């Protein structure tokens, strides 16, 4: 952050605290402290920056700002809130935390196996500290990185995290900033990286006071959540710095191993260096000063080569992007007619193309890509469930509920044995029956009404099945709590653990690798095959059949000619007929066989 022109927020240094605020819309700005109620005038420069340095504010002391002597507002770059998003902030001295994992080097990109979770529902207590208790089970599963839904301060008692208004602050219902650091520290001590989901394309609708300080937004463009942030208009440079510094803040002060940047296609910017690239450059510059792996992941949902490192014309960019083409194709097979996104996916026909290419759509606005050219698979994050696909279903149903247990087991092998970075959604590994519903908590009646109407308009047919369960209902949050894995499907968890263990072994041997991958599909048989072959390790084949479990056309087993030893079989009686001499085997619908033929 030292190479940026201005510093937002507050910092402790040499026993004093300096507060800085960009507020060109304000004539005067006073620092107000709660411990000893007093108003101290801040010095304003010609560009609208206010600053004051004091020696009587300590770690965790409450403060806020008074605008023009009329109204009190939270710090736009506060690191913690005392309670409400409308009121006091807490000063945070990050240097006072005692880190234990000082020798942590992180996880290499090629070794990432990501587990996506929501702190508020991952445990019964829904806190940073209680989440530590479940890290060991993730280590046992083989997870190497946890990706946490946003923890920026949102209004209310619960939220997915995408309505943050204190984007530098931790959600106080989860615990304190030190509690979050304790969680990260514990993960690092157990060999697990922590990646944080951050939102730089909008702020939430309640408690968003940035416009009272400065021209943070523009009416020139609209996002699905309202006016876009002012990244390329008049006075946009401080707005760009505000977001870029926020990214570095999370990496530096919480020693995170990466960021997943939400919906980068809505970070509208016509600058020579778009804001998404400015954020990645700021983080890259910081990463160059520390000795650990730091990963930047962009949520594009489709391929966008201009945003990833190695292909970006700007010389910087994301290490990987979310690519959901395979996921939505699989879902369209498992539950025909299910529409959880705004792009078309046509079952097996599109799945064969998505597997071959690694994606189905690219760029924004979206363009279908069907030329067969394979992208850089190592730069894709691919899973078959995530918070959006589960949460955007009106009942929060998961893949085993939409299709079948067998369908999930077979499809899991397809993506966990694929070269891209795999991501598992919390509870997926033991086929949890707990839903993950869409839930928010607002006090503003106008906002509450907007949530109800907006949700119904976004998914009208699906939301008609809600039977009155509102995202604002406490039940939506409580029902989304993830129960212990012991309450789930032990066989499913063993399957995931075995797949992950095999993936790790074969990645080390250089076998699960894009350069040695050959994809084969037999659509008429619902069969998809991944073949990997190199001189030192031989040939690995992943044979998967996927079809809608509810079909009245019960499809018989088919014969496939694949040599080698069966390493894993998603059915306990997977080899129904085996002719070792001819390598002829039978495979059922919604079954996966993984075979290895040594060199």
Q: Is 331 within the bounds of a domain?
A: yes
Q: What is the DSSP letter of 66?
A: E
Categorize the per-residue pLDDT at 277 as very low, low, confident or very high, splitting at 50, 70 and 90: very high
* Whether pLDDT at 127 is above 50: yes
Q: What is the pLDDT of residue 217?
A: 97
* Whether pLDDT at 467 is above 70: no
Helices (H), 89-156: 119-122, 128-132, 135-141
Question: Which range of residues forms the domain containing residue 570?
Answer: 512-597
Instruction: Please indicate whether residue 509 is annotated as part of the active site.
Output: no
Q: Is 303 within the bounds of a domain?
A: yes
Q: What is the mean pLDDT of residues 472-485?
A: 96
**Could you tell me which residues are annotated as the binding site for substrate?**
260-265, 324-328, 387-392
Handedness of CA 81, 83, 84, 89 (dihedral sign): negative
Indicate left, alpha or beta for 216 from its phi (over 0: left) and psi (-120 to 50: alpha). Answer: alpha
Same domain? 533 vs 592: yes
**Could you tell me which residues are annotated as the binding site?**
260-265, 324-328, 387-392
Average pLDDT, the chain: 92
Whether the link from the prior residue into 365 is cis, omega within 30° of 0, is: yes
Q: What is the pLDDT of residue 183?
A: 98
CATH of the domain at 269: 3.20.20.80
More confident residue, 583 or 242: 242
- Domain stops at, among 63, 96, 129: 96
Instruction: Please indicate whether residue 262 is annotated as part of the active site.
Output: yes
Same domain? 309 vs 353: yes
Q: Which of 305, 295, 301, 293 is nearest to 327 (CA)?
A: 301
* Whether pLDDT at 466 is above 90: no
- In whole angstroms, what is the distance from residue 487 CA to residue 552 CA? 32
Same domain? 467 vs 422: yes
Q: What is the pLDDT of residue 373?
A: 86
Give per-residue pLDDT as tens, 30-80.
Answer: 999 999 888 999 999 999 999 999 999 999 999 999 999 999 999 999 999
Q: Is 350 within the bounds of a domain?
A: yes
Q: What is the pLDDT of residue 365?
A: 81
Q: What is the pLDDT of residue 141?
A: 98
Q: What is the pLDDT of residue 311?
A: 60
Given the residues 116, 232, 284, 299, the one annotated as active site:
299
215 Cβ neighbours under 8 A, 6+ residues apart: 24, 25, 230, 233, 234, 235, 239
Q: Is 205 within the bounds of a domain?
A: no
- Domain stops at, among 507, 524, 540: 507
Same domain? 485 vs 534: no
Same domain? 543 vs 499: no
Q: What is the pLDDT of residue 493?
A: 98
Structurally, the chain folds into a number of domains equal to 3
Q: Are 62 and 87 in contact (CB under 8 A)?
A: no
Same domain? 313 vs 379: yes
Q: What is the mean pLDDT of residues 22-30?
A: 98
Whether the pTM exceeds 0.85: the reply is: yes
Q: Is 236 within the bounds of a domain?
A: no
CATH of the domain at 92: 2.60.40.10
């Amino acid at each position: 952050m030292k190479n940026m022109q201005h510093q937002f927020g507050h910092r402790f240094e040499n026993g004093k605290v300096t507060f800085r605020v960009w507020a060109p819309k304000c004539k005067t700005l006073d620092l107000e402290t709660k411990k000893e109620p007093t108003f101290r005038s801040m010095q304003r420069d010609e560009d609208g920056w206010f600053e004051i340095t004091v020696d009587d504010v300590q770690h965790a002391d409450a403060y806020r700002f008074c605008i023009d002597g009329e109204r009190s507002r939270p710090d736009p770059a506060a690191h913690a809130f005392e309670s409400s998003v409308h009121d006091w902030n807490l000063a945070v001295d990050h240097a006072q935390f005692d880190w234990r994992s000082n020798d942590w080097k992180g996880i290499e990109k090629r070794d990432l196996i990501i587990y996506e979770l929501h702190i508020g529902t991952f445990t019964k207590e829904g806190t940073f500290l209680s989440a530590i208790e479940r890290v060991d089970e993730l280590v046992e599963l083989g997870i190497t990185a946890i990706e946490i839904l946003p923890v920026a301060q949102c209004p209310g008692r619960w939220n997915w995290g995408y309505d943050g208004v204190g984007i530098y602050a931790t959600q106080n219902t989860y615990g304190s900033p030190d509690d979050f650091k304790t969680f990260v520290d514990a993960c690092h001590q157990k060999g697990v990286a922590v990646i944080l989901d951050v939102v730089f394309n909008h702020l939430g609708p309640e408690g968003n006071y940035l416009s009272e300080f400065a021209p943070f937004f523009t009416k020139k463009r609209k996002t699905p959540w309202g006016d876009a942030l002012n990244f390329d208009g008049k006075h946009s440079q401080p707005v760009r710095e505000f977001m870029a510094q926020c990214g570095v803040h999370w990496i530096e002060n919480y020693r995170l191993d990466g960021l997943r940047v939400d919906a980068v296609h809505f970070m509208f910017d016509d600058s020579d260096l778009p804001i998404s690239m400015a954020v990645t450059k700021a983080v890259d510059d910081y990463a160059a000063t520390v000795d650990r792996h730091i990963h930047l992941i962009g949520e594009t949902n489709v391929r966008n080569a201009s945003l990833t490192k190695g292909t970006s014309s700007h010389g910087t960019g994301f290490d990987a992007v979310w690519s959901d083409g395979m996921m939505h194709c699989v879902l369209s097979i498992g539950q025909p007619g299910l529409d959880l996104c705004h792009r078309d996916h046509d079952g097996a026909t599109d799945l064969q193309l998505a597997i071959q290419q690694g994606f189905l759509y690219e760029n924004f606005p979206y363009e279908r890509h069907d030329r067969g050219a394979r992208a850089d698979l190592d730069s894709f994050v691919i899973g078959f469930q995530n918070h959006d696909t589960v949460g955007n279903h009106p009942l929060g149903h998961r893949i085993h509920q939409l299709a079948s247990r067998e369908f999930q087991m077979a499809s899991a092998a397809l993506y966990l044995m694929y070269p891209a970075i795999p991501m598992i959604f919390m509870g997926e590994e033991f086929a949890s029956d707990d839903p993950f519903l869409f839930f928010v908590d607002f006090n503003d009646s106008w906002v509450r009404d907007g949530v109800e109407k907006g949700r119904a308009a976004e998914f009208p047919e699906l939301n008609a099945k809600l039977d009155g369960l509102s995202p604002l209902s406490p039940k939506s949050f409580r029902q989304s709590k993830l129960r212990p894995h012991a309450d789930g499907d032990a066989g499913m968890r063993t399957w995931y653990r075995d797949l992950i263990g095999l993936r790790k072994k074969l990645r080390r041997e250089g076998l699960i690798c894009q350069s040695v991958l050959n994809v084969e599909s037999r659509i008429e048989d619902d069969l998809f095959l991944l073949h990997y072959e190199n001189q030192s390790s031989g040939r690995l084949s992943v044979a998967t059949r996927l079809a809608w479990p509810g079909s009245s056309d019960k499809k018989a087993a088919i014969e496939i000619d694949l040599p080698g030893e069966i390493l894993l079989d998603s059915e306990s009686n997977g080899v129904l007929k085996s002719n070792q001499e001819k390598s002829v085997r039978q495979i059922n619908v919604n079954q996966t066989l993984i075979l290895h033929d040594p060199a």
